[in-house]
Structure 1
């Protein structure tokens, strides 16, 4: 079962050094998302398949995050993806979501991981609208510059889709970026 965790949206964590958060105008209001702390009969499952430039990113073990929709989550989704209808980002080229997200909002997230078959699932969800996001990071490749420093480059891709649960239904939604 997915469990709430005190981390920012998965995108905040992985994109922490690659973007500067825009100044958000909306203050997070926990009252908007208190419904998300309860258990319900809904569920969401699917597969995650992400690639960019012909390189496939690794999903097994990567986090899939479910964020309850709120005015602040909407603003962050717009800043990061440019749309509330879903989108993708490329690691290192992203703008918007990052480690400067409001940790109070992150406390309402549910997080699970992709399994060996790139599948994920969330159960016991209350009815409501969520942002479903996944990040699959590619391999970290060391890069050596003679006489300078050693650093690494990272590849990866992320995807987000909105999803709504009504009457405790199951929603099957794949997060695919080819």
Structure 2
């Protein structure tokens, strides 16, 4: 909690021009040594056409109770593997369901070793519509990490909201709806 308050105070100070030295050092690089390497054979199923559909909606509530959606934001789907699980855990703290506030997320500069470029070829992407809804079709059965961000700006405080992540399993021609919120 102290760390989050410190990050918020630093971010607010940067936005109003106080203590510019801490603004330059707010972002920290963290090196994460992964135990596994990316193995495309482990997620080869991801490239196949399937008969599952994943739809959903992502939103957060402001402190005042207003609902803000992911409208216009990218939504990503990554197949679960040993490698992706390690990466997701390093970013979000777990591999089931998580929220990371936007300031912490943007200030977290993680360097992965090994950092496979091929990993990024196994990501599906769509965009949230004006109502914060998204849809993936023709998905093969399997486990996925689903994530998007919901952000807005508050004068003086700057960006608010964060990134939402959830693990999802699909099989047998399933039509699944997921609500991403915190």
Q: Same fold (TM over 0.5)?
A: yes
SS in structure 2 at match of 1:174? strand
2:135 corresponds, among 105, 121, 129, to 121
Q: Name the CA shift for 1:44/1:99 in 2 (closer, same or farther; >3 Å).
A: farther
Q: Which portions of structure 1, spanning 4 or more consecutive aligned residues, are displaced by more than 6 angstroms?
A: none
1:33 corresponds, among 43, 48, 71, to 43
**Structure 2: unaligned runs, 5 residues or longer:** 1-26
1:59 corresponds, among 64, 70, 74, to 70
Q: Which has the larger radius of gyration?
A: 2
Larger relative helix fraction: 2
Superposed displacement of residue 99, structure 1: 7.5
Greater mean deviation of Cα atoms: 125-134 or 22-31: 22-31
Instruction: Show the 5 A alignment for 1:22-171.
Output: 22-51=32-61, 53-54=63-64, 57=68, 59-94=70-105, 102-139=116-153, 153-171=158-176
Measure the CA separation in 1 of the matches of 2:137 and 2:111: 27
SS in structure 2 at match of 1:22? strand
Superposed displacement of residue 56, structure 1: 5.6
Which string of whole-angstrom CA distances, capped at 9 and with x for unpartnered residues, describes residues 132-159 of structure 1? 1111222386x7xxxxxxxx94333111
Q: Name the CA shift for 1:120/1:128 in 2 (closer, same or farther; >3 Å).
A: same
SS in structure 2 at match of 1:167? coil
**Structure 1: unaligned runs, 5 residues or longer:** 1-16, 144-151
Superposed displacement of residue 86, structure 1: 1.1
Superposed displacement of residue 113, structure 1: 0.6
Number of equivalences: 152
Superposed displacement of residue 58, structure 1: 5.0
Contact 2:32 2:111 in 1 (8 A): no
